[in-house]
Amino acid sequence: MSITALTVYILIWPVIVAVILAVICVGFYKEWRAAKDEGRRII
């Protein structure tokens, strides 16, 4: 494996984690907003 390929492989993981975290946060925010609009607790 070349050094460039290894560098790209190592640097792509934070990007993947950031995208997954953003998806989870957006989903949580939508659920929280829907619960707030309906007047119920999220937990």
pLDDT digits (tens, 9 = 90+) for 1-43: 799 999 999 999 999 999 999 999 999 999 999 999 999 988 8
- Domain regions of the chain by residue span: 1-43
Joined together, the tokens standing for residue 3 give: 């050094």
pLDDT at 43: 83
> Are the beta carbons of 32 and 42 closer than 8 angstroms?
yes
- Rounded Cα distance between 42 and 35, Å, is 6
- Rounded Cα distance between 43 and 41, Å, is 5
